Structure 1
Amino acid sequence: MSAQSIPFVVPVVDISAYVRGGTDAERAATAGAMDRACSSVGFIQILGHGIPDPVIQGLKDGVDAFFGQPLEAKKEYRLPAGVNRGYAPPKSESLSLSAGVESASRMNDFFEAFNIGSQASDFPDLDLSEAEYPANAWPAVDGFRPAIEAYYAEAARVARTLTRIFADALGMPTEHFAPLTDHSLDVMRMNNYALPESTVDLDGDLTGMGEHTDYGIVTVLWADQVPGLQVVGPDGTWHDVAPIDGALLVNLGDIMGRWTNDRWMSTLHRVKPPIINGTIRRRRSVAFFHDGNAEAVVDALPTCVPAGEEPHYAPMTVIENITAKLAGSRNGQLYAGAGSVAARILAATDRAKPPANRRGT
């Protein structure tokens, strides 16, 4: 059966054997399921993550409280140049540039976002650069900080659990990634697709979030069950994805693709304006990016390079990769080193006309 004739399905993996404790056999079954999911789609629905419902509700309330403010109030927390923290207003980024693809309309990603992440002060025993681990700028919104910090801690736990599963799935020691991620450049980005809810006809140029791959190891995503998120499947075309009840979405980033020598590839995805029956719907998502220690060297794992072959990529550090990618999305600089990622985006765009005005989905 050809890839084009296989129905697109986002695999579901229950990780409770690693979260709540399980037998060796149960963990092996989970690792095997994860390997199959990462080797095919690279986008996974995870259940059994263990994040309490009240923590997720607090996250939703905090996101709504911040983005519900007037634009001018939010702009007080706008991202300083070169600092991946704070507020990013609509149409200030173009993620397709981070993947080495020239967008038809630069800085046309119509979402607003607020970023927090790991800080140098979180690791007082290490001499970390504040340029790489900048301080967070917390808005003066009642209840926002404790709610967001509570979810951040849970998402970080889930991401580190996933790296243990990944190590087992790849035939490495379970804690292989621990020393490479013990002061990881983690960022949590809260996204609000900021077009007001209304009935409109789009001109085809507006982008919720442009085609891209994530930069790091793994992304843990909470999202509304509202259409908009799309991923490229094994058939090379774009497919709609929404979380099932109780699930988080997980996708691989470029660093994991490099570590696995493309045994697992980073996942191409984008967000189209969320439209249902011709009406723009509000959509929220919160992405926790687990990227690894700034100085960690990313080189192919020995279990992922066949005997007698050379790795696909030269070694690089985590911060080198992230700096180059951020220069594309934030500063409008085309990332020429994207290589196969750019080719995959262009191939997917050629094969399937982007559904710019989907209705009834």
Structure 2
Amino acid sequence: MASFHVPTIDISAWVGPGPDHARAAVVAAVDHACRTVGFMQIVGHGVPDAVMHDLEEALDEFFGLPLEAKKAYVRPAGENRGYSPPKSESLSYSLGVDPVTRMNDFFEAFNVGTSWQEYPAASVSPDDYATNTWPIETALFEPAVRTYFDEARRVAHTLTRIFAAALRVRDDFFDGLTDHSIDVLRMNNYALPPGSIELGAELTGMGEHTDFGLVTVLWADQVAGLQVLGLDGSWNDVAPADGALLVNLGDVAARLTNDKWLSTLHRVKPPVIDGTIERRRSAAFFHDGNADAVVGPLPHFVTAEAPALYEPVTVSEHIAAKLAGSRAGRKNVSAVREAARVAAASRA
């Protein structure tokens, strides 16, 4: 099998006006990446450097607060907003896989997302579209995060137009699945105070998991840690190239294509240097789709030789099952295919 490779794709022809041949080349490259890796690096995305710099500063501002101050922003797990303290989650449970120790993912995180007030024309519930909480101790955090959120959402919308061309569906196909999308920006920090982690054990920064929705746009430090599962069952290190955003597919994309496109398993292993964990920050924008959208394999991906692998399910139902695993420590028993891949990787 060929060595593992995450391709770098310039999508500028789709960000602004581009010639047809350049757009077609992007579509072909994205389709190939989606079928073979499920991950890609994108450049030419149009997010200004200043916006990403301000995001870095904002993450440092919030995560630099005392732990007790941050804990004031913990929200109920079902709302998927606010602060998650270290070791309060275990993403392996979202796949129905037992982690090494219960609730052992040591990252801390802060989530913001689309709220029900943003979709007055749609009948959406606060259960799926919770109102955001913003920390009052920070000055830069809210404006910088809001600006980056809008940029990441624009990139995600550009990608869905490319996806529509690659899947040979109507240009506006994804509009019907994402016009009131559950979009969440999850900001992560892996640099914890000395002594708060037992070094020498099997440390898990973020357990193996697939992303829940349609597509994820990831900004991250150029620090080792992210590992992606290859088709041969091997775990492979991936770090963003200069100026690039990492993009990966989620479960909704896999369901729509009957697993022709890959919702690839990935995890974060903490880089330990001289007995301490090197700082690693990331911000994952999850473009999940409408809560009430019913997703199942598209008809042209189902044949007698390739029967449907998934029953139709709403985006909300799928996300609820995954979150119940990662946040409440209950195995997601519906993730049979993903759990099997994790088991195979552990034997490789």
Classify the TM-score, shorter chain.
over 0.9
Match of 1:98 among 94, 100, 106: 94
Which deviates more, 118-127 or 316-325? 118-127
Corresponding position: 1:83 with 2:79? yes
How far the C-alpha of 1:349 sits from its partner, in A, is: 1.4
Name the aligned partner's letter for residue 254 of structure 1.
D
Check conservation: 1:219, 1:289, Cα contact below 8 A. Answer: yes
The equivalent of 1:28 in structure 2 is 24
Superposition pairs of residues 124-273 of structure 1, within 5 angstroms: 124-140=120-136, 141-196=138-193, 202-273=199-270
State the secondary structure of the residue aligned to 1:158.
helix
User: Structure 1 CA distance, aligned partners of 2:220 and 2:300?
Assistant: 34
2:39 paired with 1:43: yes
Asked if the contact 2:199/2:275 (under 8 Å) is kept, the reply is no
Instruction: Give the residue type in structure 2 aligned to 1:285.
Output: S
**Which moved further from structure 2: 238-247 or 203-212?**
203-212
| Corresponding position: 1:17 with 2:13 | yes
In 1, the alpha carbon distance for the partners of 2:75 and 2:12 equals: 37
Q: Once the 2 structures are TM-superposed, how far is the Cα of residue 24 of structure 1 from its aligned partner?
A: 1.9
Cα deviation for residue 218 of structure 1 reads: 0.5
What is the aligned counterpart of 2:314 among 313, 317, 326?
317
Q: CA deviation at 1:313?
A: 0.8
Structure-2 separation of matches of 1:197 and 1:35: 44
Which of 7, 10, 15 lines up with 2:3 in the alignment? Answer: 7
Contact 1:220 1:287 in 2 (8 A): yes
Q: 1:253: Cα distance to partner?
A: 0.5
Q: 1:357 corresponds to which residue?
A: none
* Counterpart secondary structure, 1:32: helix
Aligned-pair Cα RMSD in Å: 1.5
Q: Which runs of 5+ in 2 are unaligned?
A: none
Please state how far the C-alpha of 1:174 moved relative to its aligned partner.
2.1
1:144 Cα deviation after fit: 1.2
Residue 281 of structure 2 corresponds to: 284
| 2:290 is the counterpart of 1:293 | yes
Quote how far apart the aligned CAs of 1:261 are: 0.3
After TM superposition, give the deviation of residue 308 of structure 1 in Å.
Answer: 6.4
Count of aligned pairs: 346
- Kept after mapping to 2: 8 A contact 1:188/1:288: yes
AA at the equivalent of 1:312: L
1:67 has 2:43 as partner: no
Aligned equivalents of 1:321, 1:65: Cα separation in 2: 33
User: Is the 1:90–1:194 Cα contact (8 Å) retained in structure 2?
Assistant: no
Conserved in 2, the CA contact under 8 Å of 1:184 and 1:294? yes
Cα drift, residue 278 of structure 1: 5.1
Amino acid of the residue matched to residue 99 of structure 2?
A: S
Query: TM-score w.r.t. structure 1 length?
Result: 0.93
Shift of 1:305: 2.0
Superposed displacement of residue 99, structure 1: 0.9
| TM-score, length basis structure 2 | 0.96
Amino acid at match of 1:347: A
- Residue 156 of structure 1 aligns with an amino acid whose one-letter code is R
Cα shift at 1:81? 3.7
Instruction: List alignment gaps of at least 5 residues for structure 1.
Output: 352-361
